[in-house]
Amino acid sequence: MDELYNTVKFLIRCLVDNVDKVDISSEVSGKKVKFIVRVPDNEMGKVLGQGGKTINAVRAVASTLARRLGKTKVQIMVESL
């Protein structure tokens, strides 16, 4: 689980300018993992990307890693601070 959390954290922090203001929490329920990513309003566009392409790419990477770690579902929600 730590490997998955660290990967999501790394990918999100690479996208923003102010990494100190990024907050990522996770909840595990059986084989499901839910990440809640909180970023400042001015960083939302960088994390989401045009049409959600960037966050969907992060979800794809996280889902692939999660399957390798024995998890079946990954959910990543992005909220503003």
- Note the pLDDT tens digit of each residue in 19-41: 999 999 999 999 999 999 999 99
pLDDT in tens, 51-74: 999 999 999 999 999 999 898 899
Alpha helices in 1-81 (DSSP H): 2-15, 44-48, 53-68
State how far the Cα of 1 lies from the Cα of 5, in Å rounded to an integer.
Answer: 6
Q: Provide the CATH topology of domain 2-80.
A: GMP Synthetase; Chain A, domain 3 (3.30.300)
Domain boundaries, the chain: 2-80
